[in-house]
Structure 1
Amino acid sequence: MPEQPANPQPVPDHDSMLSRKFGREVANYFSGSPLNRVGFLRGDNKFLTLALHHPSTQFLLCKDLQPLVSPTQKGKLHYLKYADVKPVIGENPYATTETEMIGMYNSNTYVPQMIFLGIDEKAKEGVEYENKKNIYRGAPYFAVDVTPKGGVKEACEELIKTVTDKGIEFSKGRVMDLTSAQAAIYAEARQLLDWNARNPFCAACGQPTLSVNAGFKRTCPPRDLARTASKTSTDENERPPCVTRKGISNLCFPRTDPTVIMAIVNHAGDKILLGRQSRWPPHWYSTLAGFAEPAESIEEAVRREVYEEAGVHVGRVVIHSTQPWPYPANLMIGAVGQSIPGDGEKIDLGNDPELDDARWFDFDEVREALKVGTSGLGEDAGPGYKEGGLRLPPTTAIANQLMTSVVNGFVSGGMEKL
C-alpha cells in the first residue's frame, strides 16, 4: 500500500472556549492552503502585473487538469518562472484594467486560462504591494492551463516538450499523494481551471464569455470586436442584449456543489452504519454520502440521503468538518448523526439502488480496520490486513476522519479535550 500523506494541521488553538467544549478542529486533505488568496486584489491589474513579473513568482502548469510534479521531491508540485511561461501567456495579460479588457473583447482571440492563486506570506522573498494603506507581502502563485489548444497550441506543445525532456512529468489519475499544503494549492488550481473550461458560453444568451478577476469570475461582454456589422445597432460590434448585463447579476461565479457525507451511529452508540457500491473491491465499505438539494438544510440532506440509500431514520445531526474535493467541484460537508431507535434502525435498500450493501458495524471492528485495512480503491490494504476483513477509505478521505472520530468517542463526548 502506498504511503498515505498526512492531513494538514488544524489552525493553532489558543485555549479557546469552543475548543474546550467541542475539541480540536479537524482539518481534511485538500484544505490547509499556505496561500493568502487576497481575493480583493484579483481585480487590481497593477498588483497582478507586479505579481506576474516578480522573481519570486511561482507558476504551476496543468495539462488536462493534471499538475506538473517534482521529479526529485516526493509529494511536491513543480513550479516554473515567468520566462518559462511567457511564450504561452504573453508579455502581460493584465496590461489593461478589467473595464478596458471587456471593452476590447474579441471572441476570435484565444486567451490561455490563468488563475491567480494567492501569495505565500512566509516566503523569504516576495512582492510588496500597498493598497488602501495596507501593505501585502508574499511570493505570488499562478496556475496556467497549458493544454494545447487555440492560438497557443504550438507554444504549449513546445513548453510541454521542454519540461518533459528534463524528466519532469504531469501527474496521472487522481492526485492524492501530494503533501497536504501542495494538495490544497493544486485543489484551488484544478477547480478554477476546470470551471473556466466548462463555462465558455453565457448560460443566458449562449454567447462566448470572458474570464475576469484573475480567473475567479466570467462575464458576458456587451461588445465583441469579432462581430460583423449589425442591422439593428449603430455599433457594429454590439452583441444582442443579455439579462446578465443588468443589475448585480452581471457576472458568473465558480460553482461549488455541497455534498453531505455522514457517519451514522446507532441509538445505543456502539455501531456505525457503512455502505458499499458494487464497483468497489470486496469488503470495502465507507460512510454514506450524497448531494444536498435546493431549499434543503445540511441536516435535512443527511436525513434524506440516509433514508433513501439505507432506509434508516436519523434524528440529531451535528456538523463535524468539511473537505474541498476538486473532482470536479464539491465541498464535502462531514456530519455525524444518530439513528432513531427501534424500527428506525432497520436497513432497507429498496428505496434507492445506489448501494449494493449496507450494514451496522461494531466500533471494535471499525477500529481494527482503521489500523490495518485502509487504502485507496485501487490499492492494496496495509501489511497487517487479513483477507476477508473490513476495508475502509484512506486518511486523505473525510470518511476516514468521520469514522475515526466516532469510534474514538465523538458521540459519547469521550474524545480528548484541549
Structure 2
Amino acid sequence: MAETHINLFGGSPLNRLSWLRPSQIFLNAASSFPPRDGCSSNRATLVSAPRDAPSDIRLAYLSTSDVEPFIGNRPWFAQSQDGSALIPAADANHHTEGARHLGPPLVFLGLEETDAQSGNALPSTDFTDPSTALAKLHGTPYFALDVGDLTLPLEQLTAAADTDRKLSWAEPRALIAGMDLFEAGVYAEARSMVDWNARNKFCPGCGSPTYSMWGGWKIACTSLLPWANNEGKKPCPTTRGLHNFTHPRTDPVVIMIAIDETGDKILLGRNKKFPGKFYSALAGFMEPGESFEDAVAREMWEEAGVKVWSVKYHSSQPWPYPANLMVGCYARADSTQPLRIDLDNELEDAGWYTRAEILAILNHADGTNFSGRDNKKLNEAIEGKSSHDTRDKTTHDTPQSGAGALAHSDPNIERKEGAATEPKLQAAAGAKEQAAEPKLQQAATESKLQQAATESKLQQANAKAPESPEPPFRIPPPTAIAGVLIKDWAEGKISFPRISERGGASAL
C-alpha cells in the first residue's frame, strides 16, 4: 500500500473537536484553560524572536491574559445583548450557539493533546456542567485572533512579549522557511479561518452585519439575534434551511504536470506574474460540475493547448492564501504536438523539459531558490501592493489572485528533514498508450538521443567551468506540491508504463 504523502501545511496536528463547537460551555472552558496559548494573527502575522537571536523568527503564541485586553470582557461566547453575561436561557436557540457578536472573532483551532486518545472521547454530554468542564480537558487549546481591525498602536499590540522575546509583524509567506510540520499545520488553519471571518462581515442574504458562532466556524445574520429589531424588514433568507455561505469554504485548485509518451519530458509553464526565469507546474481553479480529471484536461488545454489523458492523482496540499486546496495530478500528453499559450493568455511561455535538464536544476544550489528581489516581486504581484509595509499588511488575497501563482509556494522555502513521506505510485498501462506504440517507439528513440546530447553538453560545461552562479531557470522547492510533482517525476517516483515491442509494459 502506498504511503500517505504529507505536504507542508497538511497533517492537521490539532484535534479540532468539531462536534463541540456549538457548546458555549466547552468554548468558554477552553478559552479559560490556564496553560493554553493562543495564536494571534491577522493578514500580517505576529511573530516572535529571542532578543539575543533576532533572526530566529517563529509564530507568536500568546496566553489568554496577554490577549484579554483585545478580546473584551467575559463571557467570550454565548454573549448577552450587552455582553455582560451569558445569553439568558429564554433567548437561547440554535442561532445563539457559541454566539460572539461583540469584539473581534475568536477562532477555536483545536486541542493539542497530551494523550493521543484523550480528545477522541469527549462527547458533547461531557460539557453540560460549567463547573466540571475544565477538568475534562487534557491538552492545550489553540485559538486564533485577528487584530487587523483593532485601532491600537503597534507598541500596545506587542507589549505582551516576554522580556526575553521581541514581537513584530511579518509578511505571511516569508515565515514558511522556519516552520516545522506542527507549526505549519496550525498556521494554515489559523490564517484561513481568520481570513474567512474577516471577509464575511455582511450577510449575503439580506446585507445585515454578521456575527460569529461556533467558535469562529459559522457566521450568522444579526437579524437572527433574539433582540434584533426587524420591524418593517423582510425576513432574512437564512432564517430557514442550510446555506453554504454561513460556513468556511475551501477552493480546490488542480496543480498538474504533463509527462510525454516517452516518459523523459515534462511540460512546465511560466506565468506572466512570475519574476525571473521561474517555471512551474500548470495550475487552475476547479469549476462547478468538474472532477479532478475534468479540471486537469480543461486547464491543460486552455493554458498550453495540450490534450492530456490518463490523469492520475498524486497528493494534495492546503494552501492558506487565502483558503485553497491544491490537488496535485499528473497526466500523459504528446510532446510532438505544438503548444499554444494564446487561448487564455495566462502563460508567458511553456515548454517541454528533459529529465536531465530538471535534474540539473534540482542539483543547482539556486535551482529552487529566489533572490530577495524576486520574492518581493512575486509577493507584490500576488498581493497587488508593495511589501514595504511593516504593520499594515491587511491586503487580502483574492480567489482570482492567479491560479498560476498557486502552483508553487514561496520559492525561498527550504524542505524540513523528514517533512513528508514519499509516495509509491505506479500507473497501469491503458489502451490509448498501446494504440500509440509505433509513435511511442519513435519518440523514445528521439528522446534518448536528445537526452544523450543534453547530458553530453552538461558534462562538457561542467568540465570547462565551475557551476554557473545562475541556473538557466528555476522551479518550485519540494515543500510546494508543484515542486514535489516535478522532483518525484525527475527521480522516477511517478511514471507511466512504457509499451514494449512485444506489447508488454514496463515503468518509465
TM over 0.5: yes
1:275 equivalenced with 2:269 (yes/no): yes
1:338 equivalenced with 2:321 (yes/no): no
1:392 equivalenced with 2:475 (yes/no): yes
- Counterpart secondary structure, 1:176: helix
1:15 matched residue in structure 2: none
Would the alpha carbon gap of residues 94 and 106 (structure 1) be closer, same or farther in structure 2, given more than 3 Å must change?
closer
After the TM superposition, which residues 116-131 of structure 1 pair with which residues of structure 2 at under 5 Å, given as runs? 116-122=108-114, 130-131=122-123
1:406 equivalenced with 2:489 (yes/no): yes
1:292 matched residue in structure 2: 286
Distance 1:313 1:67 in 2: 45
Preserved CA contact (<8 Å) 1:67 1:186:
no
Of stretches 65-74 and 32-41 in structure 1, the one that deviates more from structure 2 is: 65-74
After the TM superposition, which residues 185-196 of structure 1 pair with which residues of structure 2 at under 5 Å, given as runs? 185-196=186-197
Distance 2:413 2:120 in 1: 48
Which residue type is aligned with residue 283 of structure 1? K
1:363 matched residue in structure 2: 355
Distance 2:63 2:19 in 1: 24
1:240 matched residue in structure 2: 234
Distance 2:299 2:219 in 1: 33
1:258 is displaced (CA, Å) by: 0.6
1:320 equivalenced with 2:353 (yes/no): no
Which residue type is aligned with residue 481 of structure 2? I
Preserved CA contact (<8 Å) 2:193 2:216:
yes
- Counterpart secondary structure, 2:68: helix
1:5 matched residue in structure 2: none
- Counterpart secondary structure, 1:374: coil
Preserved CA contact (<8 Å) 2:66 2:160:
no
- Counterpart secondary structure, 1:296: coil
Would the alpha carbon gap of residues 249 and 99 (structure 1) be closer, same or farther in structure 2, given more than 3 Å must change?
farther
2:66 matched residue in structure 1: 84
Preserved CA contact (<8 Å) 2:96 2:213:
no
- Counterpart secondary structure, 1:302: helix
Preserved CA contact (<8 Å) 1:33 1:184:
yes
Preserved CA contact (<8 Å) 2:300 2:308:
yes
TM, length-normalised to structure 1: 0.80
Would the alpha carbon gap of residues 219 and 298 (structure 1) be closer, same or farther in structure 2, given more than 3 Å must change?
same
Question: For each residue in 1:99-142, what CA deviation from the matched residue of structure 2 results, as whole angstroms up to 9, or x when unmatched?
Answer: 469569999x6421111000111379x99995357866321001
After the TM superposition, which residues 216-255 of structure 1 pair with which residues of structure 2 at under 5 Å, given as runs? 216-223=217-224, 230=231, 232=232, 240-249=234-243, 252-255=246-249
Which residue type is aligned with residue 160 of structure 1? T
Unaligned 5+ segments in structure 2 are 79-85, 127-135, 376-410, 415-465, 499-508
1:27 equivalenced with 2:6 (yes/no): yes
RMSD across aligned C-alpha pairs, in angstroms? 3.4
1:292 is displaced (CA, Å) by: 0.6
Distance 2:99 2:304 in 1: 53
Would the alpha carbon gap of residues 74 and 105 (structure 1) be closer, same or farther in structure 2, given more than 3 Å must change?
closer
Would the alpha carbon gap of residues 393 and 101 (structure 1) be closer, same or farther in structure 2, given more than 3 Å must change?
same
- Counterpart secondary structure, 2:59: coil
Larger Rg belongs to: 2
Partner residue of 2:35 out of 49, 56, 59: 56
1:405 is displaced (CA, Å) by: 1.4
1:69 is displaced (CA, Å) by: 3.4
1:44 equivalenced with 2:23 (yes/no): yes
Question: For each residue in 1:261-310, what CA deviation from the matched residue of structure 2 results, as whole angstroms up to 9, or x when unmatched?
Answer: 00110111110000102342333110100111111111111011111111
> What percent identity do the matched residue pairs reach?
36
1:77 is displaced (CA, Å) by: 1.8
1:14 matched residue in structure 2: none
Distance 2:242 2:206 in 1: 17
1:329 is displaced (CA, Å) by: 1.3
Distance 2:300 2:11 in 1: 29
